[in-house]
Amino acid sequence: MTSTPAPRQSAAERLRAEHGPALALGNDCDLPDDLVIEIDPGAHLSLGNRVSIRRGSTIQVHRGATVAIGDDVAIGEHTFISAMTGIRIGAGAALSNMVDLHDHNHRARTTEYVPTGQLVPWASGFEAAPIVIEAGAIVSNKVTVTAGVRIGANALVGANAVVSHSIAPDTIAAGVPATGRRAFDGVPVPREDPRTLTVGFFGTSIMEHLEAVNAQMTTQADLPEVGSKVTVEGWSQRGWVHRLALSLRVAWPHVAFDVRNHGEGGATSRDVAKIVEADRATTGTDYDLVFVGCGINDVWRRFQGRMSEAVDLEEYTRHLTGMIGQLSGYARRIVVVSETPFGPIEDPATVTAMNAELARYNAAAAQAAAAHGALFLDVWGPFTTAARHLSGDLATLWSDGVHLTELGDTVLLQQTERLLAEHRIVEKLVDYPLLERDAALTTYGPMFAPYRPAGA
């Protein structure tokens, strides 16, 4: 009598039995017998439908972390995926052979992180940030993707690249580090939760720049007749901040920008400091990028004889230093913007004296920025140069000697865009910031909640 051998257990059946609810496995997946999956307590791995993984690959999901792999994803041979916070691979994406995804790094062995001097590799702990590979992206052979990186939809990363900064959608990237070489017209794919950067502005009316609004004034098909009257329906913020927000959205259409303009007309540094404090107390907003600029009203009030409102240089420096220090706790990048000079608001001798005093405040702002690791955007020189050459009428850049015309706003806009490009600020901010491992789990947990069982 011969016995019938038991049917061989498939890789999917083995993994379901081994990991239980910690693994969500879709239908019709093609998985090799030697696939290694390690899921620590509190971690979760989900594989969508029709996922294909080749031999020799490993997926590690450390405690509390999440790995979410979408439908129709293909993963090549000997690929290694390791998560301490979260890794997401969108539908239809592909990882070729020997790709390495690690969303974490060892922290440096400093005395702060290893106070006892313990000589083991993990003594300093880890820092982590998510990796997101969007739908339709292709990652070629032997590519390394580091923590905090987002690879856009349809992007193609060439072989042997090291992706240490995010790659835009519909882009071919290559090199060490990988950079975009050219863009192409990508096919439509699902776009999930685009990266959002929160940008704040704290300053005076030069940032606030209110304009009267009537919808008919801006509706090209229904403009009012010349000489007719319209009713002011409200106020809207325009100026260089508004134009910069538009410029960012056009230059980075795959990124969402949450722009918050806290500029206030007539504000001194004393007032702006209160606005910064109130914003933090009431909204608790964490900013990716903040612009701070004040001082012109501190000086102007003294020349107007409004001494109770004037702010001397010592107090101004104290307020600005305090703001930069406070913002440093919850803003990833800070730019201190110098004030623009006074135009023909008084007689020439008085304006010269006002500008000489305001220049001292700008110098103090530059020193405060440097002391706190903030960038300083000096618009004084470009502004005065433009005023001198654009026209013999110095009022070209000012509407009233203080507030700016569209030309004046354009000077600020161009200088700001130049600074952002020179320091590659937006490129770096698109990356998810590295955080201590447990802090990363808390901060980035909501990104991965939809891919975990309810309540997990």
Per-residue model confidence as pLDDT tens digits over 112-127? 999 888 889 889 999 9
With 90 as the cut, is the pLDDT of residue 1 above it? no
How confident is the model at residue 395, as a pLDDT?
61
Q: Is the per-residue pLDDT at 45 higher than 90?
A: yes
Given a cut of 60, whether residue 159 has pLDDT beyond it is yes
pLDDT band at 393 (very low <50, low <70, confident <90, very high): low
**Cβ atoms 36, 53 nearer than 8 A:** no
Q: What are phi and psi of 45, to 5 degrees?
A: -125, 130
Whether 39 has a pLDDT exceeding 60, the answer reads yes
**176 or 210: which carries more pLDDT confidence?**
176
Q: Which of the four pLDDT bands, split at 50, 70 and 90, describes residue 219?
A: confident
Mean pLDDT of 232-247: 91
Does pLDDT of 220 surpass 60? yes
Q: What angle do CA 215, 216, 219 make, to 5 degrees?
A: 90
Confidence of residue 456 (pLDDT cuts 50, 70, 90): low
pLDDT band at 2, cuts 50/70/90?
Answer: low
Query: For the structural domain made of 15-183, what CATH number should be given?
Result: 2.160.10.10
Whether the per-residue pLDDT at 171 is higher than 70: the answer is: yes
Which pLDDT belongs to residue 309? 96
- What's the mean pLDDT when you consider all of the chain? 94
Q: Which amino acid is at 456?
A: A
Structure confidence at residue 6 as a pLDDT band (50, 70, 90) = low
State residue 7's pLDDT score. Answer: 63
What b-and-e string marks burial along 25-59, b requiring 16 or more CB atoms within 10 Å of the CB?
Answer: bbeebebeeebebebeeebbbbbbebbebbebbeb
pLDDT in tens, 48-106: 999 999 999 999 999 999 999 999 999 999 999 999 999 999 999 999 999 999 999 99
Q: In sequence order, what are the beta bridge partners of 196? A: 256
C-alpha 86 chain-centroid distance? 18
Rounded distance, CA 229 to CA 232, Å?
A: 10
Residue 413 pLDDT: 97
Domain ranges of the chain: 15-183, 196-220+232-404
Structure pTM? 0.90
CA proximity to 145, closest of 106, 100, 180, 176: 100
Provide the percentage of residues in the chain whose pLDDT is more than 70. 97
Residue 450 reports pLDDT greater than 90: yes
pLDDT-based confidence at 156, cuts 50/70/90?
A: very high
Topology of domain 196-220+232-404 in CATH is Rossmann fold (3.40.50)
